[in-house]
Structure 1
Amino acid sequence: MNEVETVDRVLLTASVVVLVVAGALLLVRIRRGPSMLDRAIALDVCAALIIAGLGAKSALARDPFYFPIMLVLAFLGFTGSVGIARFIAVRDRPLSRRTPPGKEEQE
């Protein structure tokens, strides 16, 4: 192994360690998240971590096999995030302040 390959391996190993630590902290956030929105964001970050892990595995193996899988996961993560955001936005929408018929505000 030459010097460039050694540096490459060390950096890729460090990135995998950082991804594992981030995944552990992410699981803590999913479990302890005080609101549904925190958990939804954590699941979106989970998809990003999976994509980054596949990228690191692809770089370690020097194999482009995982690139289409990463693209599909990125698309699914985006659409899932948009769907969850729409669900939360509809659920948390404030009620309209209409007055009942016959009880108009008096000035």
Structure 2
Amino acid sequence: MIGRARNRTPVERLHRARAVRAVTANAGFAVVVAILAVAMLLIGLDFWRRGLVVFGVGTGVAAVLRAVLSDRRAGLLRVRSRVFDATVLALASAAILVIAWQISPLGTK
């Protein structure tokens, strides 16, 4: 495999570098989407309060990742400025978690 890497043309190396950069730039987004998918699965299985908590946690993870990662590494988590994105995501996460904990269970899962 090492010999193959040396035989690559500059165009092939550029394409590989772009592909690696695209994957690493969107890794945080992929983690957030995976967490939100689990939340939606829980909600679909009628564990809606647990699903809502997981959804709030996933949104909080998105806020932390947006605040910590550079603009280059944030990928699809980057919409506006870092401060704006992190603040809005953190507020949304807090609101979702408060709502999840405030709703009376009354025999629900």
Normalization by structure 1: what TM-score? 0.52
How has the CA–CA distance of structure 1 residues 14 and 27 changed in structure 2, closer, same or farther, with 3 Å as cutoff? Answer: same
Match status 1:72 vs 2:108: no
Q: Which runs of 5+ in 2 are unaligned?
A: 1-19
Larger radius of gyration: 1
Q: CA RMSD in A?
A: 2.9
Q: Which runs of 5+ in 1 are unaligned?
A: 1-5, 93-107
How has the CA–CA distance of structure 1 residues 77 and 24 changed in structure 2, closer, same or farther, with 3 Å as cutoff? Answer: closer
Size of the aligned set, in residue pairs, is: 77
Q: Matched residues in 2 for 1:71 and 1:17: separation?
A: 18
Larger RCO: 1 or 2 (CA < 8 Å, sep 6+): 2
The amino acid that maps onto 2:101 is V
Normalization by structure 2: what TM-score? 0.51
SS of equivalent residue, structure 2 residue 26? helix
Match status 1:83 vs 2:74: no
Q: Matched residues in 1 for 2:93 and 2:33: separation?
A: 19
Which of structure 1's runs of 4+ aligned residues deviate more than 4 A? none
Q: Matched residues in 2 for 1:74 and 1:20: separation?
A: 15
- Equivalent positions of 1:12-91 (< 5 A) are 13-33=26-46, 38-57=47-66, 59=69, 60=74, 61=78, 63-84=82-103, 87-88=104-105, 91=106
